[in-house]
Structure 1
Amino acid sequence: MNADPSDGHRPSRGGTRKAELVALASRMFREHGFHGVGMRALADAAGMQAASLYHHFRSKEELLLHTIYVVDRDMVVEQMPLLDGPESHAERLARLVRAHITHIGANRDAWLVAGRELRALSPDRLEAVQSYRRDYQRRIARHLAEGVEAGEFGCPDPRLATLAILDLINGPNEWFDPAGRLSIEEIADRYAEMVVRQLAPPVPAERGEPTTRGNA
């Protein structure tokens, strides 16, 4: 996993004030775009001098990096252990899906920025973000492969299935509305059920009958 190119070690969101600034930047980058917001405007919105903001973040790009890391580092580091434990592979996967989607609901600004402003990062910082995304994909794919070996999943191509699952569970980032018909928790539960059902192994057919999936 790549280190943070800005200071030579894995960055941290630690510190209440720093986390508040990341949340503020997330909102402003979402509303106005990365290139539409300057450090002075960010400092004014935070009620501080620009020099004080530079004390926390050496550049606007570094602040963008930490905003994107809310999704593409912190969530990954926090959630991959959800695939470990004594529960069934299906239960652990459902737990990860729920956590992934509820994270979207709790961090909507950061998710939208991570989806729209990624290319504003310099190549080395972009690679640092992408490395976390690849780790997340590989861990899920390994979990699916282990579930196949255990007979819990009917998944001939775990790598492709992983991409399909990520496409599905990232989707609420674009359309979720807190004022909508379903809460983010209800959406998370339904998505978890859908993912596990689609991965169910084929049900052995009666003699003379075609094989069908358990979720047909």
Structure 2
Amino acid sequence: MLNEQHSESGPCEQPADLRSIANVEEQLLQAVRNSPAISAFLHDGQAGGRSVQQSRCLLRVSSEALPNHLTASTLAGVSRISVPPQIFFDDANGSLIAAYHLGLELSGHVGLIHGGFLAVVLDECMGRACFARLPERIGVTVHMEIDYRKPVKADSMILVRAVTERVEGRKAWVKGTVMSLGDVAEEVLVEAHALFIQPKWASSMEQIM
């Protein structure tokens, strides 16, 4: 079962050149429709009797926090995270898959997406995936290992897949991958493993899911 989540207001809206945005939106939507990995993700959820939620917001960022948020504000916009990602959550399984368009201004080497940016996106997706499995539904990153297997081209689309592999009390171990999107192969470009923990002061943190 696929349900769509609707945000209440601004955190997912990105002012930009409307024609450019429309083109990127159409490319991303078409790639999502044709993605074998997304189809498999939806099928797995349905086969397991779980509800898969669709959204354009990875994290629920309050309007007060939005101006200072790295991915929802600072890195969002034309030639960066060009449009809000297309995300599918399987919270009962602690997993998600997200489709992004990454613009030229996210480059490190010319024409290639900066590895540090990819680490940020992996960290957020992997964290969000496991938050649903933690008692207070929030956590922080303790440790992350990343293997950069192949370069990620700028002005391209990617898939980020995050799966919670194990949960023990306040700890969650998560695997993440970055894959190419828009080609049949959907090649693995980056792999990551991370440990997240729900801190003892979790009740004082703002909820973001």
TM-score (normalised: structure 2) = 0.28
Structure with the largest fraction of helix: 1
**Larger radius of gyration, structure 1 or 2?**
1
Structure with the largest fraction of strand: 2
TM-score (normalised: structure 1) = 0.27
